[in-house]
Chains A and B, each alone.
Chain A
């Protein structure tokens, strides 16, 4: 069990560019979550998947954000036409079947939009 992994760990991009992040959950965890954390704040929920189905989305997830989990394993989070306000740490978490009260977090992808 290697834990939740996220790639890349850091991303610097120019305003207006598209970026995509990847999350690999812990093996056999069927639920996968995305959160965003800005400096000095706790994580804020963005969306979650049960297997390949996206079941809940936050109002924070604007039209420029899209997340997928096509085969129910890894997930991608894409941000189109990035804005400076998108600069944040993007955290992924997963939880196992039957224990959805526990969410295990990855190290995050830190995004800086210039």
Chain B
């Protein structure tokens, strides 16, 4: 079946890099996503990667995809207090025109 797993919490010092990890089970995933959710807000699409890529960089964000291990990571360079949020990993499954499967989210907190 389809399942996306993430660790629940991550704490990093301001200015350090944050690395949020995710594993998924469905090898037929077509796209993999990272969304950010701040308290009381909807989800903001941060970045996404097509399944035939292994890396994507966008300013402070780097996404790494290991398709063999079904492992996705999001690295945030020079983490700032504004990066405090819940980060959701998600996958779009081949065969579904629409459905995105989300993980439970990783809460990132920043220490001064």
Contacts and interface: CB of A to CB of B under 8 A. Distances in A.
Interface stretch (B10-18, B59-67, B73-81, B91-99): B91-99
Interface in A68-114: 91, 93, 100-108
Contacts of A91: 42-43
A101 B48 contact: yes
Contact of B42 (A33, A40, A100, A107): A107
A40 B86 CA distance: 10
Of listed B45, B90, B99, residue having the most chain A CB within 10 A = B99
B105 A56 contact: no
A56 B98 contact: yes
A45 B98 contact: yes
Given A43-B43, A108-B42, A103 B104 contact: no
Nearest to B30: A101
B99 A43 contact: no
Interface residues of B, number: 24
A41 B104 contact: yes
Contacts of A33: 98
Contacts of A42: 4, 88, 90, 102-105
Contact of A45 (B88, B100, B104): B100
A108 to B, nearest CB: 5
Interface of A: 4, 6, 31, 33, 40-45, 48, 50, 55-56, 58, 91, 93, 100-108
19 contacts: A4-B42, A33-B98, A40-B104, A41-B104, A42-B88, A42-B90, A43-B100, A44-B102, A56-B98, A58-B99, A91-B42, A101-B48, A101-B92, A102-B48, A103-B100, A104-B45, A105-B35, A105-B44, A107-B41
Interface of B: 4, 30-31, 35, 41-45, 48, 50, 88, 90, 92, 96-105
